[in-house]
Amino acid sequence: MAYTLQHFSGGISERVLEALTRKSDPVEWTIRIVTVLIPIVFLAIIILQPWVEPKWMFLDPLTAAQLSGDCCHSHYGFVSTLGVMLWVTTSAICIFSALLLLAMKISDTLLKFSLSAGILTGWLALDDAFLLHETVLPSFGITQNAVLAVYVILALSYLITSWRVILASDFWLLFVGGGALVVSLAVDTIFHSLNPMLVLLEDSAKFFGIFCWASFHITTLARILVYPNQTNLELRR
């Protein structure tokens, strides 16, 4: 048992070191730059535009309508709705890719990565769209902190299931996006405030994180489906 754990931890260390020292090709750098620039430019435009209060564009549409005292406008929840659309798009691509990988019978590891990412992303989409952890589940007596703890467990399960694929891919996108989502979650949990600056910080970080999450999974699955045998060989090294 001790040998197995030592061998397993050694394998992880080797793959982490290999991933950190691997040289990125121009395509990876292009994807990284585009992934970072698009949400930053988009969020800057939303925040700096002079026509409407940015806060209402970031909040959930229903929350914005309830709190604004001026129901209703089409820009309410604009950023939030785009975030949900990104969640849903990513989940659909992941689950469809899992079906393709199942039919191709290439690798169980790739299948688990695609399926676990699709299920987790789909649940996050439902949560974001219907305020599950903020409103729905607490109404049944399930506290928000308990729900968030379950989400942490689900995220760790995804990482345990998919770490080989993540390290063989452009994992920096996932880590940067995950860090932004953690910042958003921390601001929400610690402050839980409607202060405009905190709303902009929380929801800007969340949208940036969602965009990076989507970019990582979509580009990774595109590479897997275009070059399945090459990806499988990389995972077996």
Is residue 151 assigned to a domain?
yes
Q: What is the pLDDT of residue 216?
A: 97
The list of the chain residues with pLDDT below 70 reads 1-24, 229-237
Domain membership flag for residue 69 = no
Decide if 106 contacts 89 (C-beta within 8 A).
Answer: no
Q: 21: Cβ–Cβ under 8 A, 6 or more apart, which residues?
A: none
Say if 71 falls within a structural domain.
Answer: no
Whether 78 contacts 57, CB under 8 Å: yes
d(CA 100, CA 98): 5
- Please give the Cα distance from 212 to 33 (Å, whole number): 11
As for how many domains the chain has, the answer is 1
Note the pTM of the prediction, 2 decimals.
0.89
The pLDDT, as a whole number, for residue 8 is 39
**Does residue 88 lie in a domain region?**
yes
Q: What confidence score (pLDDT) does residue 143 get?
A: 85
Establish if 115 belongs to a structural domain: yes
Owning domain of residue 180: 78-237
